Each structure stands twice: as C-alpha cells, then as structure tokens.
Chains A and B, each alone.
Chain A
C-alpha cells in the first residue's frame, strides 16, 4: 500500500539570508497525515527540521501550517486526500518566523490574552444531549484552539501589524455573549478601536479556514452590531450603560 510522495518543505534558520525549500521523499500509507510525514522526515531523514506539534488530534492547535497553500492543522490533513503528487509545506503567514515551520505566537497571545475570555462556556455542547448515567452536567470548552490560522489567512492581518485579529475579536464577542465575571466594558474598549473590530473588511477568510468552527468573522460582525447599537442608545439616552 506504500506510495512515495514528494514533500517540499519550507526551511529557514535564524541567520539565514533567505528561506529555501528542501525536498523529501516520504512513504505514505492511506491514513498518513501531513504531520505523520513531517515527523517521519525528522526521524529518518533530517532531524534538524523544526515543527511544533503536540496532541495529534486537532485539540491543541499547535501544528497549524500551510499545506499546498492552504492553512490547515497538519495532524488532521490526510496526505492522499490532498490528491497532489507533490505536497508543499510552509509556516503560517502574518507572524514572525522562528525556524522552518515554526512561527512566533507571542503577538497572537498578546492580543488573545488581553481579551482573557474564560475557557469554559456557560452553555453546554448540545442542550438536550444524552449524558452518561450519574453525569449531571456537561461542561463545554470554548471552541477556539488558539492555532493562529485565522490570523494567517486574514488580509487585514497581512497589512496591519496592529490589528487585534480574528481570534481575539471572536473571543471578545464571546465575553460579550457570556461575560462570566469579566470586565466587559474593558474588553469592549479593546475591541472598539480603529485597529480592532472596525478594521475588519469582512472577507470571511478566517471563518472559512477555522478548523474549530469559531466563526470569527461572524462574531466580529455581531460585535460591531452590538457596539453600533450601544452608540445609538447612548446617542438617544446618554446615560445608558456602556456597551449594553
């Protein structure tokens, strides 16, 4: 069942004049993922290939990268299903490059953590879902796995280094929906900025690319509507509470 697939992998080490691509031949099985192939390259061909990964099942959000020009989680991207004789692997865009396929996530988390949205939702996964005997309540985590794909595909993040970005803005809207004790006026003040929610141009690339159904663009538009509504209410009732 083995089938050899050519991988063209983006390479860059600190101090290199420019990035280049290395080519590797990898034996693949029908269920081989891009992450499997990259770890196989590390194991048998080039241990210096740097990549970031952890869980192998789309929960940790660390193996986001560009495969054949599209941002995906490498761990759940099947090589054969790509249907190309050659697979091009590149790091995410719109983030500082650290090494090979690894980008600096600090700017992402500086924005995301500024919003500081709680991790556990108030709402459950499916309100009427069946639970195991003895389980009274199911908790649901927020959908966002903090992978950075939304920022990589965003045309605004591509030109505005100050843009708050889809993930952080979606998180802000989740705080608006379920404040869970957070300082909502403060969160809204971060989002209500020329580099915040108003900077989005509604390309919806983030929503299309998100591997975890966060729908950042939809949240950004809901947040805009809420902020516009708040402004209109303040216009007609100046003492109305901020953002409510």
Chain B
C-alpha cells in the first residue's frame, strides 16, 4: 500500500514533497543516555537498599538521632558508600528529569540549555552534599 521508497528511503508520491526520516541530532554528553541510566540505576538500587536498611530499618524508631548519625557517617566503610550514593543518585535522578523535560518536545537549542542547567544543578548538589559530609565528619 501507499508509495514505495526510493533508494534513499524517501517516500515519493506524485506531486508531493518527499518525506524522509531524518531526526535532528541531539546534544549529547558522556554519561547521558539510556545505558548510563541503567548502570546508575543498578548502583542506586544497591546503595539505596543499604541506605534504607541502615538508616530506617535496623534503627530503633526508624530514625537515627544526632549521635547515631555521627557514628554512622564516620564509619570508614559507610562514608565512601554514602558519598558514592549522593553522586550517583543525583546523576540518575537529574538524567531522568531531563528525559521527562525533553518529552515536552523542546528545540535542540532548548534541550542543550536544559542539559547544561541540570549539569550545573548536579555539581551544586554534589558540592552541597560533600560540604555537609565534611562538616559532620570533622565535627568534634
């Protein structure tokens, strides 16, 4: 049915402009894409499970008081894990937000701006988290 494709894949019917599939090139960065969302998702899954169990399931009352938080976060195994969690979960979350924003059908230019802004948000988030961790770890 309908027209046949010529060699280039364009659909030509008489008196009609050819229609071909030619998506616009998107602005991409390393670490942005479906594969990364799966990889960071897998990491987040492990880390969030640890985080939830350690902070809310094994603790009496489901929440750590101040001393318990300090004891937890200064643990040499926990500190790198929680830092990694912060870095990865914010990347995964903002990458997901970017995908949802892109679904509103932005121009390539607008998409580039969104990508840069979210990258900035991620950097600020990580710096904020690291600062907070540093304050807690060095706390007397």
Within B50-106, the residues touching A (CB, 8 Å) are 103-105
Say yes or no: B33 contacts A195, CB within 8 Å: no
Instruction: Name the contact of A194 in the complex, choosing from B9, B10, B11, B26 (C-beta under 8 A).
Output: B26
Size of B's binding interface in residues, CB under 8 A:
22
Stretch at the interface among A2-10, A85-93, A110-118, A122-130: A110-118
A222 and B82 CA atoms in complex are apart in Å by: 36
Say yes or no: B19 contacts A107, CB within 8 Å: yes
Q: How far is the CB of A137 from chain B (nearest CB, A)?
A: 26
Stretch at the interface among A36-44, A71-79, A154-162: A154-162
CB neighbours (8 Å) of A111 from chain B are: 21
CB neighbours (8 Å) of A54 from chain B are: 1
Does any Cβ of A come within 8 Å of B48's Cβ? no
CB neighbours (8 Å) of A116 from chain B are: 5, 9
CB neighbours (8 Å) of A110 from chain B are: 9-11, 19-21
Size of A's binding interface in residues, CB under 8 A:
26
CB neighbours (8 Å) of B33 from chain A are: 194, 198
CB neighbours (8 Å) of A240 from chain B are: none
Count of inter-chain pairs, beta carbons less than 8 A: 59
Does any Cβ of B come within 8 Å of A109's Cβ? yes
Say yes or no: B19 contacts A106, CB within 8 Å: yes
Chain A minimum-CB-distance residue to B100: A159
Say yes or no: B23 contacts A193, CB within 8 Å: yes
**Chain A residues in the interface with B (C-beta under 8 A):** 54, 60-62, 105-107, 109-111, 113-116, 146, 159-162, 164, 168, 190, 193-195, 198
**Chain B residues in the interface with A (C-beta under 8 A):** 1-5, 9-11, 13, 16, 19-21, 23-24, 26, 28, 33-34, 103-105
Known: A106-B13, A190-B21. 7 other contacts (CB 8 A): A54-B1, A105-B2, A106-B11, A113-B4, A114-B5, A114-B20, A161-B105
